[in-house]
Copies of this chain bind each other. A is one copy, B any other.
Amino acid sequence: MMKVVIVVILALATTLVFSFSLHDMTCLFVNGKFCKDLVTVTANDFFFSRLNIPGNTAANKLGSSVSLVNVNKFPGLNTLGISLARIDFAPYGLNPPHTHPHSSELLVVIEGTLLVGFVTSNPNKLFTKVLNKGDVFVFPIGLIHFQFNIGETNALAFSGLSSQNPGLITLANVVFGSNPPINPDVLIKAFQLDKSVVDYLQKQI
């Protein structure tokens, strides 16, 4: 029950809450599930480790791996309005078109060469750039964006995200991979695709 309440609270004007709770309560949100008395809180509640370990880019067809440190993995982020991601790319690995409904993303390239981009609406303008080591790119909240390793070596990037729970909508999965599937007639008409292609995609994804 509290889970609801606390997790919901995270969605609100978040950063204030936590400092508030630290300043003014004898209580701390530890994992969105219950409340821990400040007396029993330790520095470990604000600590997360092993972000030095590369993600497994061979686990999917896309050749990328996102290690997102959000409130679900790191409860101490509750209400702090920030999260972090380590993104590993195999050669030609892709972090496919997606949007974070709750956060902007600020990415810095540690190794490799990435083609990145996002699309605005009204009009649907693409902003795209090739990034190298030390380059930084920002993806505004709510906009559809991608990162693509165009180098022949692995690539590594870190991203800061402006919410402890950025949310994720991966377009291909939402449109062609929902459960239950969207009525094919809707997709055929929307994407001007043959029924066979839509059937294929709904099986694929």
Q: Which residue of B lies closest to A70 (CB)?
A: B24
Q: Are A123 and B179 in contact (CB under 8 A)?
A: yes
Shortest distance between the CB of A24 and any CB in chain B (Å): 5
A168 at the interface (CB under 8 A from B): yes
What's the Cα separation between A38 and B143 when bound, in Å? 15
Q: Are B23 and A190 in contact (CB under 8 A)?
A: no
With A138-B80, A178-B124, A186-B96 as known contacts, state yes or no: A8 contacts B7, CB within 8 Å. no
Q: Which residue of B lies closest to A191 (CB)?
A: B172
Q: Are B62 and A83 in contact (CB under 8 A)?
A: no
What's the Cα separation between A34 and B12 when bound, in Å? 19
With A17-B12, A204-B192 as known contacts, state yes or no: A101 contacts B101, CB within 8 Å. yes
**B11, B23, B27: the one within 8 Å of A122 (CB):** B23
Q: Are A12 and B12 in contact (CB under 8 A)?
A: yes
With A141-B81, A189-B62 as known contacts, state yes or no: A11 contacts B20, CB within 8 Å. yes
Q: Are A7 and B24 in contact (CB under 8 A)?
A: yes
**B6, B22, B162: the one within 8 Å of A162 (CB):** B162
With A82-B106, A186-B96 as known contacts, state yes or no: A124 contacts B173, CB within 8 Å. yes
**B13, B121, B134, B158: the one within 8 Å of A12 (CB):** B13
**B2, B129, B137, B165: the one within 8 Å of A5 (CB):** B2
A182 at the interface (CB under 8 A from B): yes
Q: Offer 9 A-B interface pairs, CB within 8 angstroms, sorted by A.
A: A18-B141, A19-B143, A48-B135, A51-B108, A76-B138, A84-B160, A97-B187, A148-B186, A192-B201
Given contacts A8-B9, A8-B17, A69-B136, 17 further A-B contacts (CB under 8 A): A3-B25, A4-B27, A8-B25, A10-B20, A12-B17, A20-B165, A22-B120, A46-B129, A82-B105, A92-B185, A97-B182, A97-B190, A106-B160, A115-B183, A121-B173, A158-B158, A172-B191
Q: Which 3 A-B pairs have the closest CB atoms?
A: A160-B160, A52-B134, A11-B20
